[in-house]
Chain A
Amino acid sequence: MCKWWIPRERSSTSVIGTKNTTSLSRTFTGNETVVLILGYGNSLRRDDGAGLLLAEKLERLWMDAGVEVKCLLVHQLTPDLAEEISRQGLDSVVFVDARVVAGPPDDLTIHLEPLEPSEMSLSPGHQSDPGSLLLIARELFGRVPTAWLVTVPGVDFGLGESLSPVAQEALDHIPSCLNLPPGRRDAPFPPS
């Protein structure tokens, strides 16, 4: 099951769309990359690497469905990715990350939510966040595609290469709304 968030100050139509929305009726030519998947995390920190694994799964899934996909797997988000995000011809960018949960009764499914450019974090470290990257893309390159965040629940971020049962279970049950990239006109949408 997909979890959807409707951001305040945006209508559900403009975010999630309907099958007849103009912004979602773009014809895919097959000659260009239209979806960028950006998976990030540390594959040595157990569930922190779940986003990377899901990104690879989504790439295969969507390519098999005939979608032009480019997948980038990175340890952490850095500002230079802004140009990649703002590239002409890109319809959407899908960030794929791990999400910290405490375990039951928390929701242990894969989540999907729309993203918009957001204020910069004042991180003293090297990492950025999706909203900041979108903001850089908009301010610097003048273009931001539709953006989404997909998250895999994780409970164990210790050293290791295997996933916790929680993360593995979620990865084994990718929700049907991700059978195609979010926002595609032929993608299944949750009830309005």
Chain B
Amino acid sequence: MAQTLHIEPVTRIEGHGKISIHLDDAGQVTDARFHVTEFRGFEKFCEGRTYPEMPGITMRICGICPVSHMLASAKACDNIQSAKVPPTAIKLRRLINHAQYVQSHALSFFHLSAPDLILGMESDPATRNVVGIIQANPELGRRAIRLRQFGQEIIRGVTGKSVHPSWATPGGVRDPLKTEQIEYIKKNLPEAFETVEIALNWLKDHSDRFEREKATYGDFPSLYIGLVTPEGGLEHYDGLLRVMDADGKILEPGLPLDRYREIIAEAVEPWSYLKFPYYKPYGYARNGDGVRPGMYRVGPLARLNLCDFAGTPLADRELRQFRRLANSPGKPVSSSFHFHYARLIELTFALERIAELVADPDILDTHIRSQAKVNELRGVGIMEAPRGTLIHDYEVDETGILKKVSLLVATGNNNLAMNKTVEQIAKEYLSGATITEGLLNRVEHGIRLYDPCLSCSTHAVGKMPLHVQVVDSKGEILDERYRD
């Protein structure tokens, strides 16, 4: 009898997201679906507004990556104006984008993933959290807090707010940098570097503990998409779109950003409101092996696979070690478990870039904004958000009223890969139709590797218990458990 297992977080927004694992009559896993059942609707919400409002509106989508939305939006608006953004404004935008990487990657690694890694995937859920880390290693706990705080404080200092900074604007930014902000950054950079180095060393020292996870937490062939510099370096703010296949062959060396629709299309499924982007030339359909050739991954793992070099000394040194994790020489690193390592390398990269920027005397220049009106009726802004490629695509009329808004968010770009990862973990760890604590943890960890932003729309009250159901093909509940 075919069965379906549901793993459903319950939040104050109904149907925020759930996981269902589908079994065939023999009890074998055949498919896994990561459902996002909340209708977002931001695109329609924005239509009819004026385009200069967009950086301020879209940054309110998300509490974790508001800077990415703000900057992608500002870049789209720059292109509507055909504005030449002053060099210092671009440097300031890059500065807060790197700061956002620091706070976001720190949250993902230290607070969300480290409890599983350090305390064990099967450890007592009562202590498998950041407090467990604190009790096991208080100094690391304090450092983790301060690292995230460092990123937040840079954003707060530069933009005036740590969340929802209405600071980037079409044509540039509103406020220049102040000397005291540079002093704050310089004073706190050394500890930030130290903390990331501690984490890198820990991960490498304990790598042997995770051989099974490396092989089963999303180790499958896929494409990779992300930004690179025109020279092929690691890029988070601008550049060109590059596509690589599972063998490491470059399918697109550097596509101009406004042509992204030539390579990315979106499919929809009736069971999820999150769209399923895919590599357009390869299509959405499964092949004879049940694989979707158009499936791709974005985010830290993809970016490090795609770039030829990082461009900063410490990150380049780590990148060389990262490349050795590929299953075959010359091929991309294919296990999503290595998102963790990639994230720490990007943290290093972000800190190095921050150090470069605050050492640049031009960073204090006060020419930070160009003024223009509507010169183009379409503007595309593409960024690398911490969790992957983020696309804002606007169409306006001659007066600047938005006629169409299209947002392709990083979590959506990884949608197919997250489903595939859950399926792989379930195949490895599910025994019968019983959902064990260990399976729950592992499935959650598999999703967490991609650091999806499902809390973009709202926040939860209190705890977020998991509701797990095993349901047969007739809808009868065979097994059910809650975890709070």
Contacts and interface: CB of A to CB of B under 8 A. Distances in A.
A125 B456 CA distance: 10
Given A122-B125, A136-B134, A159-B42, A76 B463 contact: no
B105 interface: no
Nearest to B135: A139
Interface in A101-157: 119-127, 129, 131-132, 135-136, 139-141, 157
Given A100-B12, A140-B134, A159-B42, A79 B461 contact: no
Nearest to A75: B63
Interface string A149-172: 000000001011000000000000
A182 to B, nearest CB: 20
B45 to A, nearest CB: 5
Contacts of A41: 458-459
B149 A42 contact: no
B60 A42 contact: yes
Contact of B444 (A45, A77, A82, A124): A124
Interface in B79-116: 103, 107, 111-112
Interface residues of B, number: 55
B145 A80 contact: yes
A73 interface: yes
Interface residues of A, number: 40
Contacts of B145: 79-80, 82-83, 136, 140
Nearest to A121: B463
A97 B461 CA distance: 9
A136 B141 CA distance: 9
A140 B141 contact: yes
A44 interface: yes
Contacts of B483: 122
Interface string B30-60: 0000000000011001000000000001001
Contact of A123 (B41, B64, B453, B463): B463
B457 interface: yes
A121 B111 CA distance: 12
Contact of A129 (B149, B448, B461): B461
A119 B41 CA distance: 34
B250 interface: no
A121 B129 CA distance: 8
Contact of A124 (B60, B447, B459): B447
A132 B460 CA distance: 13
Contact of B107 (A78, A83, A122): A78
Given A120-B130, A122-B129, A80 B148 contact: yes
Contact of A44 (B61, B64, B107): B61
Given A44-B60, A126-B455, A136-B130, A80 B149 contact: yes
B419 interface: no
B124 to A, nearest CB: 11
Contact of B457 (A40, A45, A124, A141): A45
B460 A125 contact: yes
Contacts of B148: 78-80
Interface in A57-113: 73-80, 82-83, 97, 99-100
A99 B195 CA distance: 38
A125 B455 contact: yes
Given A74-B163, A124-B464, A125-B454, A42 B459 contact: yes
A45 B57 CA distance: 12
Given A79-B145, A124-B444, A42 B131 contact: no
B300 interface: no
Interface in A11-47: 40-45
Q: Which of A43, A44, A136 has the most CB of B within 10 A?
A: A44
A159 B463 contact: no
B310 interface: no
Given A44-B60, A120-B129, A140-B145, A127 B41 contact: no
Nearest to A79: B111
B26 interface: no
B460 A123 contact: yes
B20 interface: no
Residue of B42, B141, B463, B466 with highest tally of chain A CB at under 10 A: B463
A40 B162 CA distance: 13
B450 to A, nearest CB: 11
B76 to A, nearest CB: 19
Contacts of B66: 75
Contacts of A73: 163
Nearest to A45: B458
Contact of A135 (B42, B112, B131, B149): B131
Contacts of B461: 97, 99-100, 129
Contacts of A77: 459
B152 interface: yes
Contacts of B135: 139
A123 B113 CA distance: 11
18 contacts: A44-B45, A75-B63, A78-B107, A79-B107, A79-B144, A79-B145, A80-B149, A120-B129, A121-B462, A122-B125, A125-B9, A126-B107, A132-B129, A136-B134, A139-B131, A157-B13, A159-B45, A160-B45
- The 4 nearest A-B residue pairs measured at CB: A75-B63, A120-B129, A121-B463, A76-B459
Interface of B: 9, 12-13, 41-42, 45, 57, 60-64, 66, 103, 107, 111-112, 125-126, 128-132, 134-135, 138, 141-142, 144-146, 148-149, 152, 162-164, 444, 447-448, 453-455, 457-464, 466, 483-484
Given A74-B163, A97-B461, 18 more contacts: A42-B60, A42-B63, A75-B62, A75-B164, A78-B107, A80-B145, A80-B146, A83-B146, A119-B126, A120-B129, A121-B129, A124-B112, A124-B444, A126-B112, A129-B460, A129-B462, A132-B131, A140-B142
